[in-house]
Amino acid sequence: MSAEIHRLFPGGLRHTEAERGKPRHSPPLRFVPTKGLPKEDTEDSPLKTITVELAQKTSQKVTLYDYGGVETFLLMQKNHEYFLAQQDARKKYDSYDELDDDAIKKIDAVPEDTSDKKELATIEKLEDLRLSLSDKMDKLVAKAFNLYQQMLSPTLRAEWDDIVQEHCFTVGWTDDQGVVSTENRGQDWDTLQECKRLHLLTVCKKDAAERHSMYMNVTVKKPSRMTIETYYKRLKELDALAPMLPCLKDQPDCPTEIERANVSLTPVAMCNLIMRSISSAMEDEYICMTELMPTNPKKFVELLTKIERKLKDVQPEKKTEDRLTGKGQPDEQSRSHKKRALKASKKVEGAIPRKSLPPKKAVEKLCKLCEEYGGASHTHHTSQCKKWLPGGKASKEWGRGKTTASNINVHEDVGMNQLMAQQVEFQKTMMKQMSKFSEKKKKTKKRKSAKYYSDSESSDSD
């Protein structure tokens, strides 16, 4: 990808944004370029470069290529063609070839049985010229082979050497007429192109051109974040690499009815590809301007660029107007808003509301005895009163086990009072037993001490 397109590409663009689903066949070139292996130019491991001589005594430094994807591979081969063009290698070769043809014509013009010394000397000079021209042409071709080899990293260089050795310097190959040759092909411009194609087959399939054509016409779409102008430039860049891809037509057993796929798109096909990639709004705007199908991609993109700018200016104004007028809001609201709106519509339509039950009345407690004779009358009923008996006589159960003033008006259960009384009686008995035990222990100590003193007195008298 060129530096200009790389600069215009949106940051973080993914394959899913520029493709209609996953490609059915793995394409050799993708709209979003595949990143190669990262390389670092440091003092410990500097990137190796070579200096390539160009025309008019100029030179250029070239970094050795290491595989980073099919697109970068094709760009490396394209750079090789560019260097050869700058060196005028093909022009020089063609000029030498023309001089060789002229020399052959002059030699053929001289009779074979001539005995003229001047004519014989002329023939000898022409033969020497042909030898020198042939040597110069061979050096130009060998220089082109060596330049391609020197542009590669050591790993790819070994692959290239094997391909050149097998294709150019091996006998037993079959020509177009099906005859097995006893001589090697040698190195020329045709064998150079064939070796480059065989080298390209080490990184892509034989039907790479067919895969690329299907990818461009079916899968590619314009990313929403990319302008139509940048999109068109990227399409042109990919289309320019299509003629360099391997094709099924290059295979020796390819059927005759198969058409060559490694060709660039025609202007009409490029316009159709762009038309399929734009939005319906842009297409409607274009149809309003003209009813003719586009045939010039450059003019078509210029017109679409104007339409794109117009739609970008109109869209914010339309959103602001809809927000102020309230248009389109129900369709853009959340699911909860739609549920609330549906409930409100049901109420308006006359849905019967649910009957609400009356609140339960609290049952009031009232003790008539405590209200008449004194006490907390609202804490219990008359039948549960334990403070007063009918007639105003005080109950015997009231106040049993109560030692604090805060418990005066509290009516406890009879079972609880009995348990408390039993606990008190149990504690009294325990205290009595412990007091008896302590008194008995004191008596035994007194007896022992009295016996001790009596024994001591008797021993003194003796």
Tens-digit pLDDT profile for residues 23-59: 888 899 999 887 654 444 444 445 688 898 887 778 8
pLDDT of 404 over the 60 cut: no
Tell me the pTM: 0.63
Confidence grade of residue 416 (pLDDT, cut at 50, 70, 90): low
Cβ-proximal residues to 20 (8 Å cutoff; 6+ apart), any chain: 218, 219, 220, 221
Mean pLDDT of all residues in 222-248: 92
In percent, how much of the chain has pLDDT > 70? 77
Supply the pLDDT for residue 361. Answer: 60
**Nearest Cα to Cα of residue 266 among 231, 222, 236, 302:** 236
Phi, psi of 88 (to 5 degrees): 55, 40
**Nearest Cα to Cα of residue 153 among 37, 246, 71:** 37
Token output for 345: 């519509």
Mean pLDDT of all residues in 128-133: 92
Confidence grade of residue 363 (pLDDT, cut at 50, 70, 90): low
Supply the pLDDT for residue 6. Answer: 75
Cβ-proximal residues to 373 (8 Å cutoff; 6+ apart), any chain: 388, 392
pLDDT of 325 over the 70 cut: no
pLDDT of 299 over the 70 cut: yes
Residues 1, 17: Cα–Cα separation, whole Å: 18
Supply the pLDDT for residue 254. Answer: 85
For 168-206, letters b (16+ CB in 10 Å) and e give: beeeeeeeeeeeeeeeebebebebbebbbbbbbeebbbe
Token output for 241: 């690499």
Residues 406, 410: Cα–Cα separation, whole Å: 8
Residues 35, 50: Cα–Cα separation, whole Å: 24
Mean pLDDT of all residues in 246-270: 89
Mean pLDDT of all residues in 76-105: 92
Query: Which segment, 286-290, 316-320, 417-421, is predicted with the most confidence on average?
Result: 286-290
Average pLDDT, rounded, for the chain: 80
Regarding predicted confidence, which is higher, 114 or 417?
114
